[in-house]
Amino acid sequence: MIQTLLSIGLMAASALGVATFPRSVLIFLLFQGSLVFVYRARIPELLRWSLLVVALLVLMPVIGYFNGYYLEVATQVGIFVVLALGLNIVVGLAGLLDLGYVAFFAVGAYSWAIFGSPHANIIFGGGFPLAGGWFYPFLLIGLCTAAVTGILLGLPVLRLHGDYLAIVTLGFGEVIRVLANNLDKPINLTNGPKGITPISRPPTPLGLPYGEYFYFLVLLLVVVVVIVNRRLEDSHIGRAWEAIREDELAARAMGVLFSAKQVFINPESFTFLESIGVLAMVILGGMGSIPGAILGATVVTVLNLQVLKGFSLWLNELKNAGVTVLGYSLADLPTQFEPAKYERMVFGIILVLMMIFRPQGIFPARRRQRELTTPGG
């Protein structure tokens, strides 16, 4: 019914010669909204999960077949879902504020970017890039390295609390970014602000296009990380220490995958604002909640990649068409008012409204919901 009314409205607007908000964006948002509706609907569990599996394994690839951009968006959503799930353990379950989360994302990305690109020839003298098949061992190498690093970093960090922990993790994240930006001399390890490209991609089984392959690979990793999250939720031994270790595992693995998918990375891909973005996903969805982290990552990523940018394109179409609103010609609207330039402001407004009207998040964990609703809790 909603889709029918939407289509009628779009056709009517087109008939009047008025630029319309991109219908593909609206339809994609409706598709994602339907997933939330199915998850929350009071239907048998078997039917619920069957519908979700069909939507993710069949419908989404079909949509991507006709428009590869939406499969790209879905893959980005999956990457940030894994990042949000990892940070959700630290912030939501252990109650530790980590502001340097993107540092491990960067380490993972550069580990494969260096060895999977011709840039390694500058460092080692020849024999690179590694074949795409090395991507899979690097996923495991990244996980093991991150686990050891997490243990070494976690032991002293767990002695800190509150603002002190936030400052230390913030400093750690900035140190990694500055190192990536300046390690182009005396030995050129990261190629500095120029970044590294081209980065090898792994071979795809059965000749799958890279769009579909990365989508299914990310979906598999999401399932694995959800299982790990569930296991940690039920664990009572060293939860805080394990949390710091596991969030780095998730970030490091996603960094390797991110660099292979993007084919190009530079230090600007791993700024402090990226850590804040992932933190916003966790808070928006509901701290300590796995479904909340998934929804928060989806909402923020789609808002970034589709809604704000789509709204900017629509506004530009209205400007080019010379549309007048309340006696003011949109053709005179400065470019500084493009919505895509105000992503962080939109995040800020959303988070402020969430803290006022729903501080527990959209899908809060039961424990967190009780803390915020019980008098004196």
Q: How many domains does the structure of the chain reveal?
A: 2
Task: Pick 93 or 305 by higher pLDDT.
Answer: 305
Q: Please check whether residues 51 and 99 belong to one and the same domain.
A: no
In this prediction, residue 120 carries a pLDDT of 93
In a domain, 1, yes or no: no
Residues 242 and 232 in one domain: yes
Same domain, 111 and 177: yes
* pLDDT mean over 363-372: 64
- Position of tokens 């990694």? 176
Q: Is there a single domain that holds both residue 96 and residue 46? A: no
Contact 101/88 with Cβ under 8 angstroms?
no
Residues 159 and 302 in one domain: yes
Q: Is residue 236 part of a domain?
A: yes
Alpha-carbon gap, residue 76 to 86, rounded angstroms: 16
Question: Is 5 part of a structural domain of the chain?
Answer: no
Distance (Å, rounded) from C-alpha 362 to C-alpha 377? 19
Same domain, 40 and 187: no
In a domain, 331, yes or no: yes
Per-residue confidence band for 18, with pLDDT thresholds at 50, 70 and 90: very low
Residues 136, 252, single domain; the answer is yes
**Is residue 204, in this structure, part of any structural domain at all?**
yes
Residue that finishes a domain, picked among 39, 66, 93: 66
Q: Is the pLDDT of residue 249 over 70?
A: no
The reply to whether 56 and 82 lie within a common domain is no
Q: What is the pLDDT of residues 124-180, one digit of tens each?
A: 888 899 988 899 998 888 777 666 666 766 677 667 766 777 888 888 888 889 989
195, part of any domain: yes
pLDDT at 373: 57
Structure-block tokens of residue 1: 């019914």
Spatial separation of the C-alpha atoms in residues 357 and 373, rounded to whole Å: 12
Tens of pLDDT, residues 96-107: 778 888 888 888
Which amino acid, residue 67?
N
Tell me which of 128-137, 239-248, 327-336 is least confident.
239-248
- Confidence category of residue 4, pLDDT binned at 50, 70, 90: very low
Peptide bond into 375 cis (omega under 30): no
Tell me, yes or no, whether 50 and 106 share the same domain: no
- The answer on pLDDT for 188 being more than 80 is yes
Claim to verify: residue 61 and residue 80 sit in the same structural domain = no
The parent domain of residue 302 ranges over 67-373
Phi, psi dihedrals of residue 200, rounded to the nearest 5°: -65, 145
Same domain, 84 and 44: no
Domain assignment present for residue 4? The answer is no
Query: Which has more pLDDT, 89 or 281?
Result: 281
96 touches 165 (CB < 8 A): yes
pLDDT exceeds cutoff 70 at 10: no
Query: Residue 96 corresponds to which tokens in the numbers above?
Result: 């530790």
Q: Round to whole Å and give the CA distance between 49 and 47.
A: 6
Tokens 């190498």 found at: 141
Cis peptide before 129 (omega within 30 of 0): yes
pLDDT category of residue 368 using cuts at 50, 70 and 90: low
Same domain, 147 and 239: yes
Is residue 7 assigned to a domain?
A: no
